[in-house]
Amino acid sequence: MARSRRRQMAGVRKKKSECTVLLAMAEGCYDERSSKAHVRRLRQLMTAPLVTPGSAAFALLPVAGADGTVEASPLDELENTPPLDGVSLDASSLLPLYNFDFGHDLSYKDPQCLKSVTYSSFNPVPSNRRLQGDLAYYDVVLSDDRHLCVTASARGFFVNKSVVAGAGGGTALDAAHHDGWPQLGYTMVGLLSIISAAFKRNWAKLMQAHIARDPFESVPHHLTVTSWAALESSHTADVSRVEDTMSWCYGMETGSLTRDWNEEHQSCRELPMANRRERILRERTMFKISSDFVEAATQGAVAVIDRCIPPINPMDEPSAHMYVYNSIFFSYASPSKEAPDDADAVVAVTVVAVGDAATEEGLGDQATYASSNQDLIGVQMYSATETPGLYTLATAVIDYRGFRIVAQSIIPGILQGEQLGSLIYGSVDNGSKFVWNEDFHAKLSKAAALLHIKEHEIEDGAGERHRVCVPVECKGILGSDNRMYLLDLIRVTPKDPNFDESDESGSAGVLRTELLRNYYIHHTKMEASAQELKGAAAKVPVIENGVGGGSKEELKSADASEFAFNVNIVGAHKEGVVARAWKVVGEGVEADEAAVRGAGQLLGDKIIPSLVEQFKTLDISPVDGKQLTDAMHTQGINVRYLGALHTAAANVPYVRVLCEREMITRAVKHVLRGGLMRTGPSFLAASCAHVLNCLLGRVTDSKADKLKKKKTAASGKSGGNSAVELDSKGPLLSETSQSLWSVVQQQVSRRFKFTLGDDRHEILARVSPLPLLRAVCQRGGLQIRARELDLTVAHPLASEDILDIFPVTKGTIFQCKEGLEMLVAGKALMHMSNLHRAFEVLHEALHLLHHTCGPMHESTASAYSTLAMVYYHLGDYASALAYQQKGIVILEKIHGFDDPEVALGYGNMVLFSHCLHQNRRALLYMRRAEYLLRIIGGADHPDVAALYINTAMIYLDLNEIKTALRYLHRALTINESVLGSQHASTATTYHATAVALSMMKAAPLALKNQQRCHEILRDLYGDKDHRVIDSVQWLTHFTARSKIAQQSKAQIEEDISVSSHTLKPVVFAQGGVREAEKNITNGDVPSSPPPPMIGRGKLGAISGS
């Protein structure tokens, strides 16, 4: 019976395998919308593909043969391969940032397919022709200057006779089929291929060029990305561009109804999450809606600042103007440009949220500016709790031309009725009367348990007491859709006790949730035994973006009573800028205040020194200010502690440089912000260039008077004074290098409690001018022309070098939680050497991220880079190269060509190519990585030294020992200057140098370097550490080689004379010498660890996150 059953099943499987399915493409009918989209896509494809470093790396990827072995790429042997002489790219020029092509030219040089495809002046289609299927008319100019008038119809495209009539002087429309080309093409490309053989030939070449690029190059990004440096292109006449400009609606989608952002946002949050499929669908929809909202908000904010949208309250002060456009509410979050320059004297009443007419607290310039950012963080934290029945608004904060705009979705009914009638929780009069609702409070309590906010009691101005678990400034609004909205989340964590509330830095300063978690862990360690500590630490949820990363059940099971803080306690009894009508009452007030102050004390006593130690050991090695602040935020350290971090990092010079550069950058950003909002459109470029020249050059006289005379002479007598007053030159042109530096010193002292020195040139030389220029442009939203820069002259930049001012946006973009959790788990498994399990988990994470966030997302790029490292550890170096290259292409599109993670990716590709014995290709990647690192963080950085050591190993494999020694000398110089002479990385460099000198048969010098390496390691780790034991074996090996070499004294003297000209007495370090050992070893010597990798521990740097 069983055999019969198996035979029947086998027969069924055989029949199923023989079943075939045929799929056929059926032609559909065009409508006006689809025909326009078809032509728009044709215009996009006719653009020659851009040559990016990522696409060049794609062309260099090795090819897998039929038997699975790696075959040489056709581009392996390049005629114009750079000489192997150790020459680096010029880091003072910005041109290699865009045109570095790894030694081969990928630019598209074939003739263009068409000259133009434009919307014809015969449009719109007459009613009689519309009844015959005509949808639109297009004027086409072929490459041979033939003019055609093409009709887009419901069935396809054809050439009409109007082109002949137009050539004779432009008569009436003749929509009949052309006698010479009566064919009907279903696509425009098919029609033009019939008409023009040149178009058909050039179109095939163009498509082949597109196919040769990485597929991700053609995937659009969900947000507009503008780089701080760009190549200046010639502005030629383009009718198609004119059409797009005339139909531009400042972020509003044309041809469709206005999107109700709030309804989309809230309805999507209400989607079911019962199974994995529903969760993926919900997360994909949330990501799409939040990304679209941030993009629309950015474009709308630019239109608001450019005065393209009228305010809804034109009779109020300009700083209080509010705007409604594209179903988005816009308001200013910065003081009026008529406000005085002294921020301490400013009491700005600024609109922060839809539910507010204005903030109740009178705050200074910095506090008002920062409160909008705190509100955005609060919205993100409460949104991540996923509390049923509690809703937040889609929010974005946009900085542009010195103004800060807050964009929010609109609560239904809030603009039609009175706010007081819909207020169900909170106060609008600074606590004089607090409204309380039981249902709303119950929902807030659930969110507070996840955010570790303690429920406490307050007393309002009327003497009534209420139990609250939110900051007093928060408000609950009941919309006309019966949803409960939470607004004004500017203080979700306790205020920072280390900064006085009357101080500008502390008036809006709050502690970070990561610090509160660290305080809880520290408190647990102090009370628990060593055995109990392990179990207690397992109960502490991991916080991601301020919210517990574990499941809700895990968070609820944690002891919330110990891990909860009173967010209203610090500063409640102090005299602020505006007196408060409420106060904190009840039992435990002193204990709550002690807990908050304990967290503040822990920050200075433990957290900052611990972070400095991680910087010193290179567990974390930030390259630029963004990575530095990200590392600080991960530990719970606010940016205002940059001065304290600089002081604590007395023995870590590269961290001190990063701190100084970041403080100067932020100070200059605020100078630009205050000046640009008072500058007219005609003086924007001149003002930006002048500030940059004052910072980097030597400006001794003001430019304001010169420009004033020039503008007056150009305007003539008939211009009057009104236009000149509106188009003000602003205050920035009056600055000089000395005056600007004085302002920067004041800003740094006030914001970071740090004193900058008076010697501006010494500080600029220390922080490196080019990385400082990059940081200022990125923070301030400036785009400059990419060219060769001479930053040693008095005026390095001109007004023509300022190409654009772009908006800098922060928004509530939804993240794929499940994909991120799997990505983190995969990284952890990789670090535990569970490679096969990590391989499975990371592929699953990549699949989820592709389905939710799409390929153009930093988490997707991180998954590709992490998988590249897994492939590397598994020995599949070709796949490691391919995955790392995909991660680089994604990061270049979403973060720019000079992102630190892009440099890290190229550094990893150096290692992968070296493992494939493709040394020339590895050197090309090395030069790209070195160039990027020098632009991002300067030449003196530990990551640059690690890259130099890997490069030296490549040159040793190529038997270019002298060049390898030059790179090792550079690495040693950097490590000694930025890490110190007693650092493990310095010992690594000494060891590498010893190996190179041994290959050079300079055994005495090799022994001397290894002895220095051994001394450093012994002082750091003791005699019993395995690294010290290996060093002893190396010493024995080099001693034996030295004794052998003494038998030929003449040869020794020759070796020493050659080596002495190459480097000073040095010695090697940790890695990258596996191939070298095979060449120099006759007996057993200790094995060296893998080559050093740049970006060690940098927030998951090895995995590329």
The pLDDT tens digits for 179-200 are 888 888 889 999 999 998 889 9
Identify the band that residue 503 occupies on the pLDDT scale cut at 50, 70 and 90: low
Among the residues of 270-341, which ranges form H helices? 276-305
Task: Calculate Rg over the CA atoms of the chain.
Answer: 33
Work out the average pLDDT over 377-387.
90
The mean per-residue pLDDT over the stretch 799-812 comes to 92
- Report for 264-273, 461-470, 722-731: range of highest mean pLDDT: 264-273
Going by pLDDT thresholds of 50, 70 and 90, the confidence category of residue 80 is very low
Whether the predicted pLDDT of 1061 surpasses 50: no
pLDDT of residue 3: 55
Total-model pTM: 0.85
Q: Which residues are registered as beta bridge partners of 510?
A: 495
Residue-level pLDDT at 1000: 85
Q: In the structure, what pLDDT confidence band is assigned to residue 316 with cuts at 50, 70 and 90? A: confident
808 forms bridges with which residues in the sheet?
Answer: 399
Q: Which of 810, 822, 924, 917 is nearest to 866 (CA)?
A: 822
| For residue 1064, pLDDT beyond 90 | no
Binned at pLDDT 50, 70 and 90, residue 294 comes out as very high
For residue 574, the model assigns a pLDDT of 47
CA angle 387, 390, 395 (to 5 degrees): 105
pLDDT at residue 1048, rounded to an integer? 59
d(C-alpha 1074, C-alpha 954), whole Å? 11
User: In this structure, how many other beta carbons lie within 10 angstroms of the beta carbon of residue 839?
Assistant: 18
Q: Which has more pLDDT, 236 or 799?
A: 799
**Quick one: average pLDDT of 839-859?**
92
Q: Where are the alpha helices (DSSP H) in 473-512?
A: none
* pLDDT: which is higher, 678 or 1100: 678
Q: Look at strands 390-391 and 484-487 and give their pairing.
A: parallel
CA angle 295, 299, 305 (to 5 degrees): 145
Residue 432 neighbours by CB distance under 10 Å: 14
Record the tokens describing residue 592, joined without a space: 């709550």
pLDDT of residue 707: 53
Instruction: Give the whole-angstrom CA distance, residue 54 versus residue 89.
Output: 18
Split at pLDDT 50, 70, 90, the class of 336 is very low
User: How many other CB atoms are found less than 10 A from the CB of residue 725?
Assistant: 9
pLDDT digits (tens, 9 = 90+) for 905-914: 999 999 898 8
The rounded distance, in Å, linking the Cα atoms of 158 and 192 is 9
- Distance between the two ends of the chain, CA-based, in angstroms? 58
How confident is the model over 29-58, as pLDDT tens digits? 898 888 888 998 888 888 877 777 777 777
pLDDT of residue 1105: 35
Q: Which residue has the higher pLDDT, 219 or 718?
A: 219
Cis, peptide link before residue 124, omega less than 30° from 0: yes
Given a cut of 60, whether residue 919 has pLDDT beyond it is yes
pLDDT in tens, 584-621: 887 888 888 888 888 889 999 999 999 999 999 998 89
- pLDDT above 90 coverage of the chain, percent: 33
Low-confidence winner among 3-17, 647-661, 1034-1048 (lowest mean pLDDT) = 3-17
Look at residue 545 in the predicted model and tell me its pLDDT: 40
Query: What does the pLDDT look like over 447-456, one tens digit per residue?
Result: 998 888 888 8
Confidence at residue 413, expressed as pLDDT on a 0 to 100 scale = 84
CB 802 within 8 A of CB 124: no
Helix (H) or strand (E) holding 328: strand 328-332
For residue 785, the model assigns a pLDDT of 92
762 CB burial (10 A radius; 0-12, 13-18, 19+): exposed
- Nearest CA to 548 out of 376, 387, 372 is that of 387
pLDDT at position 1079: 33
pLDDT (average), residues 125-136: 91
- Output the DSSP codes for 762-783: HHHHHH-HHHHHHHHHHHHTEE
Could you give the strand order of the β-sheet that contains 157-159, starting from the edge strand earlier in sequence? Answer: 114-119, 134-142, 147-153, 157-159
The pLDDT value given to residue 704: 56
Q: What is the chain's mean pLDDT, rounded?
A: 79
pLDDT average, residue stretch 801-811: 93
- Residue 547's pLDDT band (boundaries 50, 70, 90)? very low
Residue 769: predicted pLDDT? 93
pLDDT band for 1024, please (50, 70, 90 cuts).
confident
148 - beta bridge partners? Answer: 140
137: its two tokens: 């008319």
pLDDT score of 337 more than 50: no
Question: To 10 degrees, the CA torsion angle through 932, 933, 936, 941?
Answer: -170
pLDDT reported for residue 557: 38
**CA-wise closest residue to 634 among 518, 520, 549, 539:** 518
**How confident is residue 18, by pLDDT bands cut at 50, 70 and 90?**
low
Averaged pLDDT for residues 267-292: 90
pLDDT top residue among 227 and 1064: 227
CB atoms within 10 A of CB 544: 17
Select the more confidently predicted residue: 502 or 312: 312
Of 465, 466, 488, 462, the C-alpha closest to 475 is 488
Residue 1086 pLDDT: 46
- For the segment 949-955, the average pLDDT, to the nearest whole number, is 89
